[in-house]
Amino acid sequence: MKLFVTGIGTEIGKTVCSAILTNHFKADYWKPVQSGDLHYTDSMKINNWVGHEVCCYPETYRLHIAASPHQSAAAEGKQISVEDFQLPDTSNTLVVEGAGGLMVPLSDHEFMIDLIEKLQLPVALVVRNYLGCINHTLLSIMALREKGLSLKYLILNGSFPTDTERVIINYIEKETHIIRIPEIDSITKENIETISNNLKHVYNG
């Protein structure tokens, strides 16, 4: 299985959720674009947080500025195209983590969702509760449907009000698995392993 982890926005826990999935499936990991934080990349975090000896494939783009990939690339005189990306050659399960949400621009004309479409991967959509998360979640699901992309997992990261969760779950297809991740006080290898060992995939409906 190969899976693309994306989110409804930034700073909602995609990398933590990717670590949990990587540990749960004993998977390999790939971050196609790293913008900023080159001193402590998401691949480095995965290596620190995951229990097994995980294979982290090198990023296609490592950009210095912590900004949208198209802005970071432009600052370095580069232009990103979805044709630049090829899935790592592995027979193992692979977790691919995107940058930001679906409409994060890779260039002036291509977005993260175009990369998912090019790679033809099922999607795990990470959702975190905040004012506006229902709107952002439903718009993300609409965008995936418009592209004909499969939403394999809806990941509810942290606690949610009942009314919020109900509206979101009522909107997804019955084939989509729901994964609930508890609030994590401290991100450690031990906590990631405990959560991943107890991970359950619940079908909607």
Which residues belong to the active site?
Answer: 31
27 is written with which tokens?
């998977």
3-state SS class at 15: helix
From the centroid of its chain, how far is CA 190?
21
Question: Do the strands 202-203 and 177-181 form a parallel or antiparallel pair, or are they unpaired?
Answer: antiparallel
Closest CA to 40 of 15, 70, 18: 15
- Count of residues making up the chain: 205
Match 């949208």 to its residue by tokens. Answer: 68
Helices (H) and strands (E) in the chain, counts: 7, 10
Closest CA to 61 of 95, 38, 29: 38
Please classify residue 49 by burial: count the beta carbons closer than 10 Å to its beta carbon, then call 0-12 exposed, 13-18 middle and 19+ buried. buried
3-state SS class at 173: coil
